Amino acid sequence: MNQPAHQFASDNYSGICSEALDYLQAANVGDAPAYGNDEWTQRVADKFRELFETDCEVFFVFNGTAANSLSLSALCQSYHSVICHETAHIETDECGGPEFASNGSKLLLAKGELGKLDPTDVERLIIRRCDIHYPKPKVVSVTQATELGTLYTVDELHALRELADRHGLKIHMDGARFANAVVALSQTPADLTWRAGVDVLCLGGTKNGMAVGEAIVFFDKALATDFAYRCKQAGQLASKMRFIAAPWLGLLETGAWLRNARQANAMAAYLAERLKRFPGVRLMFPPQANSVFLELPESTVGALRARGWLFYTFIGVGGVRLMCSWNTTPQAVDQFVDDLAHSLA
């Protein structure tokens, strides 16, 4: 009944990878205590601590909007503000979720090339006001990989940390596609997070091959005080938690989380490679993770859609976003490129 894999619309169009599903089924034997008091949840939390090489606090919520909104609201009060890139998901695609969860915290929009925060512009936002008539900046939010498929280097993260320290701000990372960043940068999860100064990470499971469920990882454990209450109150505490915990364990234990990300990245690279050869097709950003942005004539966009291709023309950026996923195949890439060739012709 589902759509054919005729799409580069989003990595959330893909289903559940086999490793996640296997663990979900394994967790479905017998009964288990609810609300995370089961062994799967305990195991996966330990696994996260091992993965990040530190004694962090781990929570699970249902989706990325919730992960970002609740973790940000743990970092700031209603009269504080969060600095993010103008293309950040928390600004453009969460329908005011952070403002709702925090009861009013404002997002301050910074600029920066390639979808990445420019520290100079972040600092401008921090220092331009110091009166009580404007929300006080309290958090810098980075997205890794960014909404434009680009990546912060470790050095860039350190620079933001240094800036945040100077002004007493916390650092939040939206890691809906964190796995894609890990494999693309060949860095350890620890080096890309707490060792680079990240206080809390929202780690995406859904786009990595799960049905549902994101992890929130607090590296600064003090920030996690009473956070379980916050999740519960916000309707984000799963009663049958094992069905989020076990698939996560499946991704981590089998290495699928990195394999899935690697496949998605590889397909984006392959797609970009093929696209570059077209005269007149311009890639908008360097495809560093699992998406490719390109400029196409309106008529070509229409022609591709007429052939059944699904993709987004990206809000606030213009151009076409082609998103690859853990289950994207070279055949799909080839077919898209062929259809593009026909459409351009």
65 binds a copy of itself (CB under 8 A): yes
Helical packing angle, 242-253 and 256-276, nearest 10°: 70
Candidates 62-70, 165-173, 258-266, 282-290; binding stretch for a copy of itself (CB under 8 A):
62-70
94 binds a copy of itself (CB under 8 A): yes
2 binds a copy of itself (CB under 8 A): yes
Binders of a copy of itself in range 250-309 (CB under 8 A): none
- Kind of pairing between the strands at 320-323 and 291-295: antiparallel
242 binds a copy of itself (CB under 8 A): yes
Distance of alpha carbon 306 from alpha carbon 325, whole angstroms: 22
Q: Please select the residue that binds a copy of itself; options are 59, 243, 248, 270, rule is CB under 8 A.
A: 243
Candidates 91-99, 118-126, 188-196, 273-281; binding stretch for a copy of itself (CB under 8 A):
91-99
The CA-atom distances, in angstroms, between 264 and each of 3, 12, 31, 241, 269 are 19, 12, 35, 28, 9
Q: Contact 84/112 with Cβ under 8 angstroms?
A: no
What would the two tokens of residue 197 be? 């100064």
Binders of a copy of itself in range 173-232 (CB under 8 A): 206, 211-212, 226, 228-230, 232
Candidates 31-39, 52-60, 272-280, 292-300; binding stretch for a copy of itself (CB under 8 A):
31-39
Residue 246 CB, shortest distance to a copy of itself, in Å, is: 9
39 binds a copy of itself (CB under 8 A): yes
Residue 176 CB, shortest distance to a copy of itself, in Å, is: 10
Type of residue numbered 95: C
Q: Please select the residue that binds a copy of itself; options are 53, 79, 258, 314, rule is CB under 8 A.
A: 79
Q: Please select the residue that binds a copy of itself; options are 193, 236, 300, 343, rule is CB under 8 A.
A: 236
Residue 45 CB, shortest distance to a copy of itself, in Å, is: 14
130 binds a copy of itself (CB under 8 A): no
Contacts 24+ apart (CB under 8 A), 160-167: 160/117, 160/119, 160/122, 160/197, 161/196, 161/197, 161/198, 162/197, 163/119, 163/122, 163/123, 163/126, 164/140, 164/197, 165/197, 167/123, 167/126, 167/127, 167/137
Nearest to residue 146, comparing CAs of 159, 137, 158, 157? 157
Distance of alpha carbon 204 from alpha carbon 16, whole angstroms: 13
Q: Please select the residue that binds a copy of itself; options are 97, 115, 137, 287, rule is CB under 8 A.
A: 97
Q: Please select the residue that binds a copy of itself; options are 120, 128, 306, 308, rule is CB under 8 A.
A: 128
